[in-house]
Amino acid sequence: MNVIFKNATILDKESPFHKQKADVKVENGIIKNIGQNLSSKNGFEIVELENLHLSQGWFDSSVSFGEPGFEDRETIANGLNTAAKSGFTNVALQPNSFPVIDNQSQVSFVLNKAKGFATTLHPIGAFTKNSEGTDLAEMFDMKNAGAIAFGDYNKNLDNANLLKIGLQYVQDFDGLVIAYCQDKTVKGNGVVHEGLVSTRLGLKGIPALAEELEVARNLFLLEYTGGKLHIPTISSAKSVELIRAAKAKGLHVTCSVAVHNLVLTDDVLTGFDSRYKVTPPLRDENHRKALLEGVLDGTIDMITSDHNPIDIELKKMEFDNAKNGTIGLESAFGALQNVLSLEIIIEKLTHGKSVFGIEKPAIKEGNKACFTLFTTEGNWEFTKEHILSKSKNSAFLGLPMKGRAYGIYNNGQLILN
């Protein structure tokens, strides 16, 4: 599709047009010209949107779609269309389907399902077979099939030696290991953050210590083995401190934080609404502030929606029994503008590509056109009408939003919300 984007503010530090307003002409998926008052010709679609901004395409390092096995929650097709309309040109798909993505054929299956969409899907292969934490999965074969990293979604690896061996093994092919951190024995039967709110509500708490013990252990293992480790969706102040210190030592560690842990606290649990049951749990204001500081000083490398659709039968039930997870693609940008500056948001929604080895073309003439269209203006409230996912388990319903994604241009396709 040939398009001219009119009067767009370009936000891309790698572009010579950073913070400038210009027209951007795209022909056959390539940026042909950037300048003022570019003339159109037959075959070009003109895109003029209020307060139009363009940045490098956003990347979400953690999404779950359900297919294969849980198509009632979300299909790959609808998930990718949701991602596109939410501003994401690239998403990393978690392996928590049925069967688990733990071999070459499963990686090939989801990649074939994702062909032809504007948003590019990047599979994460399971670190262990069936994500059971017992035997290493076929990581080298999955890497050759297109997997960009290896991890068992929201499952802590109890066997420290297995993580050690895995970190050593993947270095032969420059693999990236993802290690979710939450000690099951310390967590126990906890369902929310351990603190004043859990005590007041009578809900069993999960100490921040459950996360911090495993973060510390995994960083020690990384220091011993070398290699690359990514710690997803951290939630505690001490985790930020530990990772900050590890980076200062020169360890090759990166980490992410979920939008809901930056925006919400456990104060929202007062109504026992299971939409707010997530893992790691929503913590108190002190932890939230520490996470924001970690984002600002670069300790936290990227922000993820941790988009996890759950069918209503497993979500709308007693809090203790409800399944963890919230959808988040549709609300990510609007929610983040409540707590972070625009420049930081764009950086944290694009930097993850560098960590996961994904192409990151700048907005320059001659480069592939891969960018997100959005506006920074407009205050609104997130409601069910804004949900594009098949599942409706959003922790952001009723939350005030600022600005929104218009859509994306990627893989030669224009998708507008």
CA-CA distances (angstroms) from residue 219 to 12, 124, 134, 137, 167? 33, 21, 21, 22, 11
338 — phi, psi (to 5°)?
A: -80, -20
Name the band, by pLDDT with cuts 50, 70 and 90, for residue 55.
very high
Q: What does the block give as tokens for 359?
A: 């192409």
Examine residue 387 and state whether it is found in any structural domain, yes or no.
no
Helices 76-85/104-113 angle, 10° precision: 60
- 111 and 170 inside one domain: yes
pLDDT (average), residues 18-37: 96
306 is known as an active-site residue: yes
Dist. CA 249–CA 304, nearest whole Å: 25
Dist. CA 325–CA 203, nearest whole Å: 18
Residue 41, pLDDT > 80, answer: no
Residue 42, pLDDT > 90, answer: no
Write out pLDDT tens, residues 333-351: 999 999 999 999 999 999 9
- 411 and 280 inside one domain: no
CA-closest candidate to residue 94, choices 300, 253, 305: 305
Write out pLDDT tens, residues 210-258: 999 999 999 999 999 999 999 999 999 999 999 999 999 999 999 999 9
Examine residue 412 and state whether it is found in any structural domain, yes or no.
yes
- 371 and 275 inside one domain: no
- 39 and 103 inside one domain: no
Examine residue 384 and state whether it is found in any structural domain, yes or no.
no
**C-alpha R_g of the chain:** 21
Q: What does the block give as tokens for 162?
A: 């297995």
Dist. CA 202–CA 196, nearest whole Å: 10
Write out pLDDT tens, residues 361-375: 999 999 999 999 999
Dist. CA 295–CA 355, nearest whole Å: 16
Residue 188, pLDDT > 80, answer: yes
CATH code, 208: 3.20.20.140
Q: Residue 43: what pLDDT? A: 83
Helix H segments across 226-376?
237-249, 259-263, 285-296, 312-315, 332-336, 342-350, 352-356
Q: What does the block give as tokens for 68?
A: 């294969």
What element of type H or E holds 34?
Answer: strand 30-35
Name the band, by pLDDT with cuts 50, 70 and 90, for residue 59.
very high
- 310 and 194 inside one domain: yes
- 49 and 62 inside one domain: no
Write out pLDDT tens, residues 315-337: 999 999 999 999 999 999 999 99
Write out pLDDT tens, residues 272-285: 999 999 999 999 99
45 — phi, psi (to 5°)?
A: -90, 135
User: How big is the CA angle at 276 (ends 272 and 277), to the nearest 5 degrees?
Assistant: 90
What is the span of the domain harbouring residue 47? 2-53+365-378+400-416
β-pairing verdict for 2-11 and 53-56:
parallel
Q: What does the block give as tokens for 216?
A: 């510390």
Total domains in the chain come to 2
Q: Residue 319: what pLDDT? A: 95
Please check whether residue 101 is in contact with residue 125, taking contact to mean a CB–CB distance below 8 angstroms. yes
Examine residue 389 and state whether it is found in any structural domain, yes or no.
no
Examine residue 271 and state whether it is found in any structural domain, yes or no.
yes
- 9 and 143 inside one domain: no
Write out pLDDT tens, residues 130-178: 999 999 999 999 999 999 999 999 999 999 999 999 999 999 999 999 9
Q: What does the block give as tokens for 287?
A: 């932890």
Examine residue 386 and state whether it is found in any structural domain, yes or no.
no
Instruction: Report the 10 Å Cβ neighbour count for 390.
Output: 18
- 333 and 230 inside one domain: yes
- 153 and 277 inside one domain: yes
Average predicted confidence (pLDDT) for the chain = 97
Dist. CA 40–CA 349, nearest whole Å: 32
Q: Residue 33: what pLDDT? A: 95
Write out pLDDT tens, residues 92-131: 999 999 999 999 999 999 999 999 999 999 999 999 999 9
Largest CA distance in the chain: 66
Residue 40, pLDDT > 80, answer: no
pTM of the model: 0.96
Instruction: Report the 10 Å Cβ neighbour count for 94.
Output: 26
Q: Residue 268: what pLDDT? A: 97
- The residues near 5 (Cβ < 8 Å, ≥ 6 apart) are 23, 24, 26, 47, 52, 54, 373, 409
CATH code, 47: 2.30.40.10
Examine residue 352 and state whether it is found in any structural domain, yes or no.
yes
pLDDT (average), residues 43-64: 96
- 12 and 65 inside one domain: no
Dist. CA 217–CA 181, nearest whole Å: 9
Dist. CA 397–CA 249, nearest whole Å: 41
Dist. CA 220–CA 372, nearest whole Å: 38
Task: Give just the sign of the alpha carbon dihedral 276, 282, 288, 290.
Answer: negative
Query: Which amino acid belongs to residue 396?
Result: F
Q: Residue 107: what pLDDT? A: 98
- Report cis status (omega within 30 of 0) of the bond before 16: no
Catalytic-labelled residue, pool 60, 266, 284, 306: 306
Name the band, by pLDDT with cuts 50, 70 and 90, for residue 39.
confident
Please check whether residue 403 is in contact with residue 375, taking contact to mean a CB–CB distance below 8 angstroms. yes
- 23 and 118 inside one domain: no
pLDDT (average), residues 22-37: 96
Helices 285-296/237-249 angle, 10° precision: 30
- 40 and 73 inside one domain: no
- The residues near 167 (Cβ < 8 Å, ≥ 6 apart) are 177, 221, 222, 225, 226, 227, 229
Place of tokens 């929202």: 268
Examine residue 99 and state whether it is found in any structural domain, yes or no.
yes
